[in-house]
Structure 1
C-alpha cells in the first residue's frame, strides 16, 4: 500500500508542474492580448 502512495505522488507533482506552465502561458498570452487592446482604445 505504501508503494502505491509513492507512485501516485510523483505523477501528481508532474501534473502540478505542467498546470503551472500552462497557466503561465495563458497569462502571458492574456497580457499580450490586453496590450494590443489598449493601443486601439475604445473600439467597441
Structure 2
C-alpha cells in the first residue's frame, strides 16, 4: 500500500514560533514595566525634596 500523506494546515507550523514570539514580547513588556516603575519612583522622590 502507498503511504498516506498526512497534510497539516500551514498555520499549525507557525504555532511554536507564535508561542515563542508572544513569550518574548511579554518578557520585554515586563522588563519595560519594571524599568518605568523604578525610574518613576526616583523622579517622585526627587520632586519631594525641592519643597
Runs of 4+ in 1 over 3 A off after TM superposition: none
Instruction: Name the TM-score, length of structure 2 as normaliser.
Output: 0.71
Identify unmatched segments of 5+ residues in structure 1: none
How big is the alpha-carbon RMSD for the aligned residues of Structure 1 and Structure 2?
1.0
Residue correspondences, number: 41
Instruction: Name the TM-score, length of structure 1 as normaliser.
Output: 0.80
Structure with the largest fraction of helix: 1
Identify unmatched segments of 5+ residues in structure 2: 1-10
